[in-house]
Structures are given as structure tokens and as C-alpha cells.
Structure 1
Amino acid sequence: MSLNVESTRIPTVLAPPPLRLIDDSGHAVDESQTGGFTLPDTATLLSLYRRMVIARRFDVQVTALTRQGRLATYPSALGQEACEIAAVASLDSGDWLFPTYRDSIALLTRGVKPEDILASFRGDWHSGYDYNEHRIAPQATPLATQALHAVGLATAAKLKRDSTVTLTLLGDGATSEGDAHEAFNFAAVWQAPVVFLVQNNQFAISVPLDKQMACRTIADKAIGYGMPGYFVDGNDVAAMFAVTSAAVDRARSGQGPTLIEGLTYRIEAHTNSDDPSRYRNAADVDVWRGRDPIERLEKYLVSEGALSDSERASITQEAEDMAAATRECMTVKAVVDPLELFEHVYANPRPAIAEQRAALAAELAEDDANQAAAESATETGTQR
């Protein structure tokens, strides 16, 4: 007897409205509907606005460079700025961020230079920044693996009795991975000071959320692990910052992990090699463009008299200067040493690695000699 999966599937329960502090129109939400969270002050919101504008300009610029063939690939975070900027803004300088491949604007906001962020996307080096200097782990391409690393560092910090908190960014698809389950469970059991921030952009490449899970929200899963879970409007940077900051404070005070789901949308393709028209409706993209996180906050700040024309022009100019610097650094030809392939593989190099390195060095030396001979012959022929 065969089992008809479709006929036995439990109907999906409608999700509750996400927590928000500023609505789509840029108006403050009544405090009775904010779950006890309060709107950040205007100075904080203005700082978040500035960071989002600069992050958006960087993302657009890098996407353009990729389309020009100056980068191998780039996963855009256009439309997800509120989640990423709120995450970085909630951390202290001594805390650690564990990002994914899509979180380049989080790195930029935390102070990593554009050329260092883009090194791996151009093929120069795997992660071109100093992890310890910035307190940022390598951008993880395998889904959810960095969540385990975040829990490990957080647990070590707890054992050492220091105040470090870790925050890891995940996608909705990553929560379907076994590594995510292990990270959630271990963190909750051992009360690790870690925050899991899931950017639910509703597609794991081409797989929609309702094909991944039958629960109302990803945040609902938190109760099964024994930690708090929050379902937040991921395009409301005020709400994201308030909830994430509270989760970081909770972790730092020894109360354990928190799972936060930010409901957002990936406006651009998964990467430049993806064709999103094959699996999603363009009309849905237009709807989410109308929920732009930057425009929402801008409307609120203008209505409060906190964002003047001169301030907006200054922020725009800062963003353009950063974009120009990004273009400039991509005009510098990368100096690549193939022998670096063998560096940092083992603390004590193994004989097999040494043999392979020697073989490649000999091959490169032979190529250099042949090229030099060819150039010499050409020069001699020209002189004759």
C-alpha cells in the first residue's frame, strides 16, 4: 500500500503577524502591539539609516562589478539590509559575528575594507580579512556550519567566564540542515551566550519555505529546543535592532541563546548565475520592493524631523565615495601565488603536501623559463 504524501499532509497554520515597531508607511506602531519592545531613539535610528544606505550602495556597486565580469560571483543582500545592519549594531566590539556568504554588507558595516570582503569573490584569497581584528569568522558557504562554530566559541567564552557573545546569521534554508539542529540544541542545553538570527528571505535558492517546513514560523521551533523565539518584521530595522539587542544582552547576562526570525525577501537573484524567474513570480518581487526597509525608516525619520535634506545629501555622498573606492580597488590586478595553495593546511606539513608543493614549484619554474625564452626570441627577431 503506497502512502499519498499530499493527502496526509497537515494543513499549514497561518503565521501570526511579525513584531514591528515601524509599519510599512513609516509610522510608529502603537506600544500595545510591540510585545514590550520600545522604539530606539532617533539618534540610533539615524545611525542605522546611514549604515543601511551605505550598505545598499555597496551591494548595488558590487552587483554591477559582477555583471561586468570583474568578480566571479556575488550573492546580493538587496532588501535584507535591516536584518544585517541591526545584527552588527547590536554587538559590542569584543563580540563575534559568524556570517554566511550573503552577509558581505554586515562585514562592511563592522569595518572590513571592500577589497578584503571581495577577495574571495574575485578568487584572490579565501577570506581576505583578519578574523581576530574584526571578530568576524570566515563567510560560510556550506549551510549552517558556522552556527556550530558560533556555539563553540560562545561555550568557550562561558567556560572562560568572559563576556563575549556570538551572533550567527542564517538563512531559512540553513535551518533545514542537521548542523542547525545540533547548534540550536547544544546552545540551549549548555546555555551558550549565542544569538541565532535567521534571515527568512523565503527561498533556499529555488525552494520556497512551505516546501521546507510545515510549522507556522521558524521562530516557533525555538520552544522545542528550550529557548526564546521571536518572529520579527525583517524589513523594520527598529524592531530588528530592539529584539536583537535584547537577545545579546540576555546572552551576556548568562540567560542563554535566542532564536530570532526576520521575515524579509531576497530582491535580487540568488547569485549572478541564478534565474529566479524560473521559480518565483515577478509580481511578488514588486510587492516586496514596496516594503523597502530604507524607505520605511526614511519616512519615519523625516516625519520626526530627524533627517534633513542636508543630512540625507551627506549620507548619500558618503555612500558614493565608498562605491568609488570599491570600484577603484577592483581595478588593481590581484597578485596570486599558486604556492599559497599549500600554506596553512597543516601546522606540521606532511610529506605528501611537501612533495606536491615541490612538483608545482618545478612546473611553475619551467613555465617561467619557457616564457622568458619565448620573449627573448621575439625580442631578438624584432631587433633583426
Structure 2
Amino acid sequence: MSYNQLDTNKTYLITGAAGFIGYFLSKKLLEQGCTVVGIDNINDYYDVNLKHTRLEQLEPYEKFTFLKVDISDKEALTNVFKEYAPNVVVNLAAQAGVRYSIENPDVYMQSNVIGFYNILEACRHYPVDHLIYASSSSVYGANKKVPFEETDFVDHPVSLYASTKKSNELMAHTYSHLYKIPATGLRFFTVYGPMGRPDMAYFGFTDKYFNDEAIKIFNNGDFDNDLYRDFTYIDDIVVGIERLISHPHEEGSVPHRVYNIGNNNPEKLMTFITTLEKCLSTALGKEVEFKKDFEPIKLGDVPATYASTDRLQKAVGFKPETSIEEGLQQFANWYVSYYKLIEANKL
């Protein structure tokens, strides 16, 4: 079986299907003729209209079924496994956001820990060919060694969100060991693109521009010693997941493996911002320049965070191909179209 050839006779359960990555993955599988069952609780962490827009684009596919289910509801989740008997589960449902975990820790425990436990229990009682689940680059905490490698020590998370994701990896390992569930954890590195999450910096910067507000940049205005970050375009992420779906890890006694999934090509924060300005300029047909407030580097921020993707490349040939110029242009074009900004500017 080639990397991109999925078994269309299988049923794929995608949790968080109304979310950013969940939507694009569902769409890619449906385009190949796969049967997809999508579940999501449509929470209001960010604009639910965007989640409904994503779902509306999936509804025309005959092989798509959507169920409004919260993975922390064990009975409801178990019933989905009973009724649809998924062969592959991709768990992308989670409470996201590092800063929000300080304000509202309860939802992180409910969704990311109890919800994931329910997923594992369901996979135990209704065995699956492969469980793929979302971890996060945040598990690396304040590690200073770059690029981050999967073998690095990750026992010092600096946020509750990161703790829940590290817990997921430990729980998955245990269930793989005890019940031989083939499981793969993915440590995502700053995923961006059209229809993305409004709480992400690039989306927030764009919102602020159209609200005539200044963006906050936490680098002291020191361009020579700027922060470096790994920005990964959504299409590249989907290709990586798609290839892994039919390649569960089978070596050794525990069929569990964790992979970084990132760009492996860190960009300066200011380069990312100036590129976004250029892309918005192209989309709008006029020059765009953000108002900028430079602030001190935040406590705990590390100079560079980016992924070593050697392990994933060796396993499934994954290599991101989208430049930030191309990816941000796609985002800018979508944003201007979605919010009907060209028409608004003409009024």
C-alpha cells in the first residue's frame, strides 16, 4: 500500500471534526471515498460560526456522518463505537490553548484527560486497527536544545495544557502495553492556514489590523535576537496524518509511537509578521502595515522552538513542502473572502 492509498472499506472516526485540523482531515478522507464519522461538541472556545461553516462544507459528502458528541460523555462516546464500529480513530478533540488553561483549568481536565481516557476505553472494548491522537509541541516545556527530538526529556511541562498532553502520551502507552492498541501520538507545531483557529497569533494579528488595533510582539523589538518558531501549514499536517493512518507502529512489545509533526524550518517571528503583511496587501490590493507594540519576552519563552521531523520522515516519507509565503497567502485570501472585506472597503 502506498503512503497515500487509504482503505476505503474502513470507517474512520474523527473527533473534533468541526475543528481546524479535524475539518481538513475529514475533507481529505472524504475526497478519497472513505467513510467518515465526525464528532464534535461545538464548544464556544472560539467563534462557533466558523465551526458550523466547516461542517457545512462536509455535509454534501454522502459518506460523512456528523454527531454532536462530547468525548467526556462516556456513554455517548461508547454508543458511537457500538453503532459505527470504527476501524481507525483520529482523536483531535481537545481543549486547546496554553493561556486559557490558566483561566479555565476544569475544561482541560474534562476534555483532555477524562475525554481521552474514554477514547482509550472505547478502543479497548471495541478494538481498532489504529488510534492516532493529538499531542503537542508544548510538552517540550522550556527545553533549550533545538531542534526538539522525540527522545528529549519532557517531564517538566510549563502549562496545564502541556501536562494534559503529556498525560495523553503516558495513558496511550499504557493502553498499548496492556491491550495491544496500535497508537500514534502527534506533537503538532504551530499549525496555520485558511479556516484556522482565531485564537492563534497570525489570525489575531489580522483581526487587530482590521479593528485598527496594535499587535503585541513579545521580542523586545530586538530583531537580531528574534524568536524563532516552527510554522506548519495545514495541508502538510494532513498529508502527515494521512500517511500515518495506514502505518501503525508494530515494532517492539508496545505498539505505541510518538512523532513530531512540524516544518523543521524555523522562521523569525518578525519574518512571519512581515510576510503576513505582504500577503494581506496582495489579497486586499493595497498596502498593509500592522501597528506594533514591542514588549519584553514573556517569562518562560524560549528563543527557538522547532521540530526534528527525522523520525516521521523515516517512517512515512513526510516532508513539509509549503513555504510561509504560500501558506500565509492562502490564509490571507480566505480571510478577506470569508469576512467579505473587499466589498466592505468599497462601501
User: After TM superposition, is the score higher than 0.5?
Assistant: no
Give the structure with higher Rg (CA). 1
Structure (1/2) with the larger helix percentage: 1
**If the length of structure 2 is used for normalisation, what is the TM-score?**
0.39
**If the length of structure 1 is used for normalisation, what is the TM-score?**
0.36
Structure number with the bigger relative contact order (C-alpha 8 A, sep ≥ 6) is: 1
